[in-house]
């Protein structure tokens, strides 16, 4: 199975006559069990692309499709971890996590098994019956991750999931995400503007330019998936980060001027 992003472009109407091109000529493939990270300065169209892939926005041109699914009859499922977290405030942690399972009309028994399994995976067993407002930012986003994992999607989308968190929580959550990812091995498209985060998590990093958002370069990260933060990989890690920074730098400077 793979997900193909085929020649996707997106234009937004600025006013009656003017249009802005948010995305242009976007072509890439997410392979099975691959972790792809989209990185680029703010306003380059990362969220736009992710929303198109998630079926929350129509592309102006091009298409997105799944290829070579094992079970041809089944509709592929895509789940999203939102930047805004977007938990349902009137649902407890457990009820949020099983939302997608309810909608799949899964039996109560299965909902409970899956729900508990994924709540445990994101480390929230103690807070199962808490409401979102009782949780810290990091805990809320764990629920968001749990909710997305629980439906066991064919493709997992994450839009700057940790950008609202403080730096320390963020580092811990990145480590935790890697651990979880190793257990689930889901095909993932992850959006961030944080270069270190991209190098830390990605199998491949896709660097986007802005105005219009195009693919500038695709960089495979040739480091072991776990333990990239260790001292022995320090030099290589920094090289990757530097390489990406040089690609983004001018665009980031331009973004500041707007």
Partner 1 sequence: MTKKMITNRVAFLDKKVPLYASILGIAGVLIVWEIICSLHIVSPLFLPAPTAIVTTGWDMLLSGEIVKNLVPSLYRIGVGYLIGSVVGIVVGLLLGFSKWADAIGTPIVYSIYPIPKIALLPLFVLWLGIGELSKVTIISLGVFFPVVINTYSGVKNVDPILIKAAVTFGSNHLNVIRKVILPGSLPMIFAGLKLAAGTSLLLLVAAEMIAAQSGIGSMVLHYGNLMITTKLMVGVLVLSLLGLAFNRFLQWVENRLLPWK
Ligand X SMILES: Nc1ncnc2c1ncn2[C@@H]1O[C@H](COP(=O)(O)OP(=O)(O)O)[C@@H](O)[C@H]1O
Residue 210: cis peptide before it, omega within 30 degrees of 0: no
Minimum CB–partner distance for residue 23 and partner 1 (Å): 19
* Contact between 67 and partner 1 per CB under 8 A: no
**26 vs 78 by CB, closer to ligand X:** 26
Interaction of residue 206 with ligand X, rule CB under 6 A: no
Can you tell me which of 9, 45, 115, 132 binds partner 1, judged by CB under 8 A? 132
Asked if residue 107 binds partner 1 (CB under 8 A), the reply is no
CA distances for 182 relative to 31, 187, 201, 221, 223, angstroms: 16, 11, 11, 16, 15
Residue 22 engages ligand X in binding (rule: CB under 6 A): yes
Is residue 1 within 8 A of residue 69, CB to CB? The reply is: yes
Q: Which does 100 bind (CB under 5 to 8 A by kind): partner 1, ligand X, Mg ion, none?
A: partner 1
140 counts as binding ligand X under rule CB under 6 A: no
Q: What is the DSSP string of 90-148?
A: TS-HHHHHTHHHHHTT--HHHHHHHHHHHHHHTT-GGGTT--GGGS-HHHHHHHHHHHH
Q: 181, 158 in Cβ contact below 8 A?
A: no
Contacts of residue 131, defined as CB under 8 A and 6 or more positions apart, other chains included, come to: 89, 90, 91, 92, 93
Assigned token pair, 42: 């703010």
Q: How far apart are the first and last CA of the chain?
A: 41
Residue 65 binds to partner 1 (criterion: CB under 8 A): no
Asked if 192 interacts with Mg ion (CB under 5 A), we say no
CB of 13: closest distance to ligand X in angstroms?
7
Q: Which of residues 35-94 bind ligand X (CB under 6 A)?
A: 40, 42-48
**Nearest alpha-carbon partner for 188 in 213, 209, 205:** 205
Altogether, the residues listed in the chain come to a count of: 258
Distance CA 11, CA 28 (A): 19
State the binding partner of 45 from Mg ion, ligand X, partner 1, none, CB within 5 to 8 A by kind. ligand X
Contacts with partner 1, 155-184, as mask; x by CB under 8 A: ------------------------------
The answer to the question of residue 51 lying near Mg ion (CB under 5 A) is: no
Q: Which positions lie near Mg ion, rule CB under 5 A? A: 47
Q: Which positions lie near partner 1, rule CB under 8 A? A: 54-56, 77-80, 82, 84, 86, 88-91, 99-100, 103-104, 131-133, 147, 151
Q: Which positions lie near ligand X, rule CB under 6 A? A: 12, 20, 22, 40, 42-48
């Amino acid at each position: 199975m793979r997900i193909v992003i085929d020649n996707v472009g997106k234009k937004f109407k600025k006013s009656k006559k003017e249009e802005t091109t948010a995305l242009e000529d976007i072509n890439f493939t997410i392979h099975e069990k691959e972790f792809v990270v989209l990185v680029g300065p703010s306003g380059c169209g990362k969220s736009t692309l992710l929303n198109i892939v998630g079926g929350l926005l129509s592309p102006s041109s091009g298409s997105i499709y799944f290829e070579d699914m094992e079970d041809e009859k089944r509709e592929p499922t895509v789940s999203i971890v939102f930047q805004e977290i977007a938990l349902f405030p009137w649902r407890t942690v457990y009820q949020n996590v099983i939302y997608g399972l309810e909608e799949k009309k899964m039996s109560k028994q299965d909902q409970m098994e899956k729900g508990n399994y994924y709540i445990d995976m994101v480390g929230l067993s103690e807070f199962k019956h808490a409401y979102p407002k009782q949780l810290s930012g990091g805990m809320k986003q764990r629920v968001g991750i749990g909710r997305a994992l629980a439906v066991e999607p064919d493709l997992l989308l994450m839009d700057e999931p940790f950008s609202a968190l403080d730096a320390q929580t963020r580092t811990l959550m990145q480590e935790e995400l890697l651990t979880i990812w190793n257990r689930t091995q889901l095909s993932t498209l992850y959006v961030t503007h944080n270069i270190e985060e991209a190098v830390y998590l990605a199998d491949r990093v896709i660097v986007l330019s802005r105005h219009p958002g195009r693919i500038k370069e695709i960089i495979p990260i040739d480091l072991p998936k776990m333990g990239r933060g260790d001292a022995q990989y320090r030099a290589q890690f920094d090289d990757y980060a530097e390489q990406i920074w040089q690609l983004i730098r001018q665009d980031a400077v331009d973004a500041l001027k707007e």
